[in-house]
Structure 1
Amino acid sequence: MRTYDFSPLMRSTVGFDRIEQLFRGLERATADNSFPPYNIVKTDADHYRITMAVAGFTEDQLELVANQNSLKISGKSLEEKEEVEYLHRGLAARSFVQNFELAETIKVVGASMENGLLHIDLVREIPEELKPRTIEINKGKLIESKAA
């Protein structure tokens, strides 16, 4: 696995620590197992959906934790009490943890489970202070500074 040194970039920037964390997360994500399989779909300009195949898991065995800019999905498989002789075992029944890094404006708004698929709905919420605004141009009037 190739590693990158971000220290030259970080020496000349201020307040971009999260970018380094994202790159480190990308390095881990490519090395980690991608179980269970999932899709990320952009349903419109501000709405997204993560769909994860969790066949064999119940809602009680799954945990979703949204924390600041991350979403952690974990599944805990229950130990089988009966000894079963499998002729073929194609359904994975192992525990998992899947982490997603979210942009600061992305919020988790809900989750549902249907036919072995876990659906997690996300929305982009841009605060008013970050939205573009129109500035009125005053004709012939000077605006005095209040900093004097």
Structure 2
Amino acid sequence: MSPAQVAVRVAARAAELEEAEYPSRSTVYRVLRLQVQERERRGQKRSLGWRGEQLALKSRTGEVLSVGYSNQVWQADHTRVDVLVVEQSGAVLGRPWLTLVVDSYSRCIMGMHLGMEAPSAALVRVCLANAKKTTLSLKG
């Protein structure tokens, strides 16, 4: 449905409800434009996908990173876990945070940290230390 059709429907609905005041055509266009911009913003992909044998990722700054092999690029992510932590006394402590470091190429989880602390650079450092320890122990 076009913006003009939406504006006509708004006017028709206002007439049905016997409303004297209703949004003008320009207001309807402005609201629709904001909704379209928000939908486009949400639709922007950070992972551009595979291009031949290379994985293309877009950084927050818009730079495109080409990933050709495992362990070339790792990404950290913080997620609030949908679980409540409860003490033995029954007091609710809250929901923990899960911090993961993931290999962009293989999607393998390289390191993790589960705790009550809010996301921070220190937690990413802990995840990277766990990932390094695990990787080195696997190599022998």
Task: Give the alignment's TM-score, normalised by structure 1.
Answer: 0.22
Higher strand share: 1
Q: Which has the higher contact order (CA 8 A, sep 6+)?
A: 1
Larger-gyration structure (1/2): 2
